[in-house]
Amino acid sequence: MKNHEKPLEQATFAPESGDMPKEEFRRHGHALVDWIADYFENIEQFPVLSNNAPNDLKNALPTSAPEKGDDFDEVLKDVEKLILPAVTHWNHPNFHGLFSTSTSSVGIFGEMLSAAFDMKAMLWRTSPASTELEPVVLDWLRQMMNLSENFKGVIYDTASISTLHAIAMAREKLNLGIRENGMSGRADLPLLRVYCSEQTHNSIDKAVILLGLGQKSLVKIPTNNRFEMDVEKLREAIQDDKSKGHLPFCIIPTIGTTSSSSVDNVERVADICERNNLWLHVDTAYAGSAAIVPEFQHYFKGINRADSIVTNPHKWLFTPFDLSVLYVKDLDLLKQTFSLVAEYLKVSETVTNQMDYGIQLGRRFRSLKLWFVMRYFGQQGLIERIREHCRLARLFANWVDDSEDFEMLAPVPFALVCFRACPKNVEDLDSLNEKIMNEINASGEAYLSHTKLNGKFTLRLSVGSIRVEERHLRKVWDLLNKFNREIR
């Protein structure tokens, strides 16, 4: 059968028009590593938040690609001229907003090499290195976090995706034939219920939306005055739902919530899960890294009773974004939930194929950068860094406590401080604190973000950069006091 197109004309381009010539690659590569080294050395000279206005970068760029290729030196010049001003410097030691996350230099080497290999981990044969390094590295991390050996880990990009997979597993375990028949148009299905606290990250809302459970399936349990899930209210909500014929199937407590880093009582939630045969998924995306520090182990009590756990080394283990870990006890159930093997992916060997454990077909070789980080810093090095961040956060909290003009608004279990200015004779403290935050952020010296706790505008200072030192916190404290005096 001859149904292919006629051969193309003889190629008009020269044979060297493949990749960048190797000498050029070497030259630019060395220059780029030098550029990154200089960037880290001088990072404090940059404003933490980009000073660009929306669309500044977009408007400065041509609307179509160059007809002929540019010299890479020109491209790098444009990085300095156009891209750099549009960068918010997450690696700046005074980035204290949201959660302060940063990459180590050695983590960048991991990204470089995995880009060089450009493996798509789907089948073992397409990516033996990724398939085999990932479980080893995740077992090292499991041991460091003191998790039971029943947990096996899988790497995804973000916690949102890890949690989506966990809830999908919990739903599959119900054996309601949802994988085959879906949920729509089925009168035989009760309303499925997932429980979390009011303080939970909205990745859980998104997961229930995406899984077709609907937002009304997610029950948000009120929290106590420490922003921890009220376990009595959880118990009542489950009973109430059962009495209405709904089907509770999953509870998601958080260790280290996003707003205030509060810690739900996983031990008590686990009791409820066991009594009611519910899936227990623990979200410790932020704080999970602190489980490697012996004196913080008590915050993780009960975690080994979970069915699944999410933790993000890209948040607080000095690993470049992105790398989230889902630990599950029943790896076979994860496979049962997601595996779907097309003819062109069938293989004869009996091996682990990473495509079977999630939505994606191919995955990036992410374990390499975590392996680099663990090898380079060692367990002790990582523990010391996280311990130091927690020390610095407590030190800052002490300054707040000792000041007449500021007050703490939440406990500090890890390295996040929630506080506000509260000078006497100022009525609208929300507005004052918002102004102080905006002034600090506009100064370029530091970045703070906010939340609302008990209805109060709350400043959040997160300590997590691998480059942060006590002097950086002192600088923020001085700025806070300065603007507090000036704005009043």
Q: How far is the CB of 249 from ligand PLP (least distance, A)?
A: 20
Residue 24, helix vs strand vs coil: helix
Contact assessment for residue 261 and residue 413, using Cβ atoms and an 8 Å cutoff:
yes
Joined together, the tokens standing for residue 336 give 């049962």
Contact assessment for residue 362 and residue 99, using Cβ atoms and an 8 Å cutoff:
no
Q: Is 283 in the site for ligand PLP (CB under 6 A)?
A: yes
In sequence order, what are the residues at sequence separation of 6 or more whose Cβ sits closer than 8 angstroms to the Cβ of residue 86?
A: 50, 52, 56, 57
Contact assessment for residue 466 and residue 314, using Cβ atoms and an 8 Å cutoff:
no
Joined together, the tokens standing for residue 53 give 């206005």
Question: Pick from 99, 124, 396, 414: which binds ligand PLP (CB under 6 A)?
Answer: 99
Between 228 and 283, CB nearer to ligand PLP: 283
Q: How far is the CB of 262 from ligand PLP (least distance, A)?
A: 10
In sequence order, what are the residues at sequence separation of 6 or more whose Cβ sits closer than 8 angstroms to the Cβ of residue 108?
A: 36, 320
User: Which sign does the torsion angle of CA 176, 178, 182, 183 carry?
Assistant: positive
Q: Is 279 in the site for ligand PLP (CB under 6 A)?
A: no
Cα distance between the two ends of the chain: 84
Q: Is 273 in the site for ligand PLP (CB under 6 A)?
A: no
Radius of gyration of the chain (CA): 25
Q: Cis link prior to 322 (omega < 30° from 0)?
A: yes
Contact assessment for residue 314 and residue 156, using Cβ atoms and an 8 Å cutoff:
no
Beta strands 218-221 and 192-197 are parallel
Q: With contacts defined by CB under 6 A, how many residues of the chain interact with ligand PLP?
A: 15
Contact assessment for residue 144 and residue 329, using Cβ atoms and an 8 Å cutoff:
no
Between 156 and 249, CB nearer to ligand PLP: 156
Q: Is 228 in the site for ligand PLP (CB under 6 A)?
A: no
Between 155 and 476, CB nearer to ligand PLP: 155
Considering only residues 395 through 434, tell me which ones interact with ligand PLP, judged by CB under 6 A: none
Contact assessment for residue 393 and residue 152, using Cβ atoms and an 8 Å cutoff:
no
Q: How far is the CB of 326 from ligand PLP (least distance, A)?
A: 11
Q: How far is the CB of 317 from ligand PLP (least distance, A)?
A: 13
Considering only residues 117 through 176, tell me which ones interact with ligand PLP, judged by CB under 6 A: 158-160
Q: Is 101 in the site for ligand PLP (CB under 6 A)?
A: no
Contact assessment for residue 137 and residue 367, using Cβ atoms and an 8 Å cutoff:
yes
Between 286 and 318, CB nearer to ligand PLP: 286
Question: Pick from 312, 433, 462, 465: which binds ligand PLP (CB under 6 A)?
Answer: 312
Residue 327, helix vs strand vs coil: strand
Residue 163, helix vs strand vs coil: helix
User: Which sign does the torsion angle of CA 340, 149, 106, 294 carry?
Assistant: positive
Question: Pick from 104, 127, 223, 258: which binds ligand PLP (CB under 6 A)?
Answer: 258
What is the amino acid identity at position 291? A
Q: How far is the CB of 200 from ligand PLP (least distance, A)?
A: 7
Between 299 and 483, CB nearer to ligand PLP: 299
Among the listed ranges 190-198, 254-262, 325-333, 421-429, the one in contact with ligand PLP (CB under 6 A) is: 254-262
User: In degrees rounded to 5, what are phi and psi of residue 363?
Assistant: -120, 155
Site string for ligand PLP, 284-303 (x = CB under 6 A): -xx-----------------
Q: How far is the CB of 59 from ligand PLP (least distance, A)?
A: 29
Between 201 and 450, CB nearer to ligand PLP: 201
Site string for ligand PLP, 348-387 (x = CB under 6 A): ----------------------------------------
Q: Is 100 in the site for ligand PLP (CB under 6 A)?
A: no
Between 215 and 348, CB nearer to ligand PLP: 215
Question: Pick from 223, 254, 353, 458: which binds ligand PLP (CB under 6 A)?
Answer: 254
Binding site for ligand PLP (CB under 6 A): 99, 158-160, 201, 203, 254, 256-258, 283, 285-286, 312, 324
